[in-house]
Amino acid sequence: MRVGFQGEPGAFSEAAVLRLLPDADPRPFPTFDEVFEAVRDGRVAFGVVPIENSIGGSIHRNYDLLVDGDLSIVGEVQVPVVHNLLALPGVTLGEIRRVLSHPQALAQCAGFLRTLPDVEAIATYDTAGSAKMVRDEGRRDTAAIASERAGRLFGLEALKTGIEDFNDNITRFLAVGRDRVPLGPPDKTSVVFTLRSEPGALFKALSVFALRGIDLTKLESRPVPGRPWEYLFYADVAAAREDLSCGRAIVHLAEFAASLRTLGSYPRWREPEAPVGVQPEQEHARG
């Protein structure tokens, strides 16, 4: 089964594909837009794209692609992110004058980068792609921030490991598909809606879930293109769309929302159980 992701082999997005669907055949694409297009035209069965990071926040482009297209969320996966400073074999930390990586990775390692004197941080399209650029350019003054696997794939050595500013650095990814069939029994639902500009509108919208005891796990607002100061609201709730209380809440919301769409109902990510004899912290380190 072909599954699309953005970036190069060795990217954290590829790791997300294999963590969610271990038997998948990951297929790389240069941009998020091309991942969505590949799912839409059937070149891949699903796409797996990042939606938020516990340090860097939301990946806004993918929120926009979700609402602009006709694909559905069918699953999610969380990936612990460990960043490494990678360079050509034999290079020392003192030789580095440039560091390449995706803007999110640079932001997640900002504290470490400030400890490097006279080093320029340069944003690129991908973490693993940055490692590939270091290999292809062959410059001893250039390093990349990427995964350990990217280092192995592109023949680089780690000058420093675990350089992210916070230990609990986790990225949540969504799996999107053409059909609304989830990858497992659903217990989470994502919706997007707009509201009329009137007092208490957002309070009323959120109350439809609170009054029914449904947990709101995520709320995100994005501007409506072409309509200044109007917003789309994305909400994740901890219930399946087919649950009676959730279904009634969404019907209630539709009564006063200017527009409303269900983006998908799917299984929440649950960490795999650690093998017998493996402590939880060891399993986390392996992720």
Whether 117 and 6 map to the same domain: the answer is no
The answer to the question of residue 283 being in a domain is no
Whether 71 and 10 map to the same domain: the answer is yes
Which pLDDT does position 273 carry in this prediction?
73
**If pLDDT is split at 50, 70 and 90, which confidence band does 277 have?**
low
Whether 200 and 157 map to the same domain: the answer is no
- Mean pLDDT throughout 264-280? 75
Cβ atoms of residues 93 and 153 within 8 Å? no
Report pLDDT digits (tens) over 115-131: 998 999 999 989 999 99
The total number of structural domains that make up the chain? 3
Whether 127 and 240 map to the same domain: the answer is no
The type of residue at 89 is P
- Domain edge (last residue) among 180, 212, 239: 180
What positions carry a catalytic annotation?
Answer: 171, 173
Q: Residue 274 has what DSSP assignment?
A: P
Output the CA–CA distances (angstroms, integers) from residue 147 to 11, 113, 150, 282, in the order listed: 7, 16, 5, 18
User: What predicted TM-score, i.e. pTM, was given to this entire model?
Assistant: 0.88
Whether 38 and 57 map to the same domain: the answer is yes
Which residue in 176, 124, 173, 174 sits closest to 150, CA to CA? 124
Which residue in 78, 270, 73 sits closest to 181, CA to CA? 73
Whether 174 and 33 map to the same domain: the answer is yes
pLDDT(44) > 70? yes
Range of the domain at 154: 84-161
The answer to the question of residue 281 being in a domain is no
Whether 6 and 76 map to the same domain: the answer is yes
Whether 220 and 254 map to the same domain: the answer is yes
Give percent of the chain with pLDDT exceeding 70.
Answer: 95
pLDDT(287) > 50? no
Which pLDDT does position 83 carry in this prediction?
96
Whether 176 and 62 map to the same domain: the answer is yes
Whether 58 and 125 map to the same domain: the answer is no
Which pLDDT does position 220 carry in this prediction?
93
Which pLDDT does position 286 carry in this prediction?
36
Report pLDDT digits (tens) over 6-26: 999 999 999 999 999 999 999
Whether 90 and 197 map to the same domain: the answer is no
Q: Residue 90 has what DSSP assignment?
A: T
